[in-house]
Amino acid sequence: MSTVTKLIGGCIRAVFRRPLRQALVQSMLKVMEEGAVKIDPSVTVPAVPENSEQPDGKDKGGMIGEGIFQWSLPKVGNPPERNEDAAGSRYDPETGRLRLAVADGASTSWYSGEWARLLVEFALRLDTSEPFAWTTQKEWEEGLTEVRRQWREALPPANHALGYLNELARTKTDRGAAACLMLVEIDLPNGAWRAVGYGNCLLVQTTQATVSHCGPYTRPEEYDGFTPLILSTAGFTGKDENFFRAEGRCQVGDEFYLMTDEAAKWFVSDPYVYGLSQLRRIKRVEEAALLVESLRLAGEVQDDDMTVLRAWIGGAKDE
Residue 274 lies in a domain: yes
Can you give the pLDDT at residue 51?
A: 39
Q: What is the CATH number of the domain that holds 129?
A: 3.60.40.10
Prediction pTM value:
0.79
Is there a contact between 85 and 69 (Cβ–Cβ < 8 Å)? Answer: no
Within a domain: 215: yes
Does residue 102 lie in a domain region? yes
Q: Is residue 230 part of a domain?
A: yes
Question: 2-15 and 18-33 are packed helices; what angle lies between their axes, rounded to 10 degrees?
Answer: 140
| Listed range (14-18, 43-47, 58-62, 242-246) with the worst mean pLDDT | 43-47
- pLDDT attached to residue 49: 36
Summarised one tens digit per residue, pLDDT across range 79-90 is 998 999 999 999
pLDDT given for residue 36 in this prediction:
37
Look at residue 166 in the predicted model and tell me its pLDDT.
Answer: 64
The pLDDT, as a whole number, for residue 134 is 57
pLDDT per position as a tens digit, 248-287: 999 999 999 999 999 999 999 876 778 888 899 898 999 9
Residues 6+ apart with CB under 8 A from 162: 169
According to DSSP, the β-strands at 210-215 and 202-207 are antiparallel
Q: Bigger pLDDT: 24 or 193?
A: 193
Q: Provide the 8-state DSSP code for 75.
A: S
Q: What separation, in Å, do the N-terminal and C-terminal C-alpha atoms of the chain show?
A: 53
Please say if the pLDDT value at position 108 is more than 60.
yes
- What is the average pLDDT value for the chain, to the nearest integer? 77
Q: Which residues are CB-neighbours of 142 under 8 A, at least 6 positions away?
A: 134
Number of domains in the chain: 1
| Structural domain contains residue 11 | no
The answer, yes or no, to whether residue 120 has pLDDT greater than 60, is yes
- For residues 8, 12, 18, 22, the Cα torsion angle rounded to the nearest 10 degrees is -50
Residue 27 scores a pLDDT above 60: no
* Mean pLDDT value across residues 281-309: 91
pLDDT tens digits, 63-74? 445 589 999 999
* Structural domain contains residue 239: yes
Q: Count the alpha carbons within 13 Å of 79 in the hemisphere toward its beta carbon.
A: 1
Rounded mean pLDDT of 168-188?
Answer: 85
pLDDT above 80: residue 33: no
Is the per-residue pLDDT at 129 higher than 50? yes
pLDDT band for position 24 (50/70/90)? very low
Average pLDDT (290-317) is 86
The conformational region for residue 77 under phi > 0 = left, psi -120 to 50 = alpha, else beta, is left
Q: What is the mean pLDDT of the segment spanning 124-131?
A: 69
Per-residue pLDDT reduced to its tens digit, 1-16? 445 444 444 444 444 4
Residue 98 maps to a domain: yes
pLDDT digits (tens, 9 = 90+) for 229-242: 999 988 888 887 88
Domain of residue 111 covers: 54-154+170-284+304-314
